[in-house]
Chains A and B, each alone.
Chain A
Amino acid sequence: MAALLEVENLRTHFATRNGVVRAVDGLSFHVDAGETLAIVGESGCGKSVTSLSIMGLVDQPPARIAGQIRLDGRDLVALPEAEMRHLRGNEIGMIFQEPMTSLNPLLTIGHQIAEPVMLHQGLDRAAAWARALDMLTLVGIPAPERRLRDYPHQLSGGMRQRAMIAMALACNPKILVADEPTTALDVTIQAQIIALMRDLQQRTGSAIILITHDLGVVAEMAARVVVMYAGRKVEEADVATIFADPRHPYTRGLLGAVPRPGTGGACHRLAEIPGSVPSLIKPLVGCAFAGRCDRAADICHRAAPAWRQIAPGHGAACHFAGAA
Chain B
Amino acid sequence: MTAPLLGVRDLVKHYPVRNGLFGRATETVHAVDGVSFHVDAGETLAIVGESGCGKSTVGKVVLGLAPATAGQVTFGGESYAGLRPADMKRIRRRLQVVFQDPFSSMNPRMRVRDIIAEPLENFAVVDGRDAVTDRVRDLLVRVGLPAEALNRYPHEFSGGQRQRICIARALAPGADLIVCDEAVSALDVSVKAQIVNLLLDLQAEFGLALLFISHDIAVVEHMAHRVAVMYLGRIMEIGDRDALFARPRHPYTQALLSAVPVADPTVRRVRPMLTGDLPSPIDPPGGCRFHTRCPLAFDRCRVDEPVLRPVGPGQQMACHLDQADG
Q: With A and B bound together, what is the CA distance between A194 and B257 in angstroms?
A: 15
Give the docked Cα–Cα distance between A273 and B193 (Å). 8
B16 at interface by CB-CB < 8 Å? no
For A219, A240, A253, the residue with the greatest tally of chain B CB atoms inside 10 Å of its CB is A219
Residue of B nearest to A190 (CB): B259
Residues of A in contact (CB 8 Å), total: 48
Q: 1/0 per residue B205-219: CB within 8 Å of A?
A: 000000000010111
CB nearest to B266 among chain A residues: A240
Q: Do B190 and A254 touch across chains, with their CB atoms under 8 A apart?
A: yes
B residues in contact with A255, CB < 8 Å: 263
Inter-chain contact count A-B, CB under 8 Å? 131
Within 8 A of A (CB), among B243-261: 245, 255-261
Judging by beta carbons under 8 Å apart, are B215 and A156 in contact? no
A311 contacts the other chain (CB 8 A): no
Q: Which residue of A42, A243, A267, A268 is within 8 Å of B190 (Cβ)?
A: A42
B50, B222, B275, B278, most chain A CB atoms within 10 A: B222
Q: Which residues of A contact B219 (CB under 8 A)?
A: 259
Q: How many Å lie between the Cα of A262 and that of B267 in the bound state? A: 13
**A141 → B minimal CB distance (Å):** 11
Q: How far is the CA of A58 from the CA of B221 in the complex (A)?
A: 40
Chain A residue at smallest Cβ distance from B186: A43
Interface of B is mostly: helix
What CA separation (Å) do A255 and B258 show in the bound complex?
Answer: 20
The docked-state distance in angstroms from the alpha carbon of A159 to that of B276 is: 9
Within 8 A of A (CB), among B18-55: 44, 50-51
Q: Is the CB of A264 within 8 A of B245?
A: yes
Q: Does A257 contact B (CB under 8 A)?
A: yes
- A/B interface sample: 15 pairs, CB < 8 A: A186-B51, A186-B215, A192-B275, A194-B261, A213-B188, A214-B261, A216-B261, A240-B265, A243-B265, A266-B223, A266-B241, A268-B222, A272-B190, A272-B194, A276-B161
Binding site for B on A (CB under 8 A): 42-43, 156, 158-159, 186-192, 194-195, 213-220, 239-240, 243-244, 253-262, 264, 266-274, 276-277
9 more A-B residue pairs beyond the given contacts A187-B259, A192-B273, A276-B158, with a C-beta to C-beta distance below 8 A: A159-B277, A189-B50, A217-B261, A256-B193, A259-B221, A261-B260, A261-B262, A266-B224, A272-B193
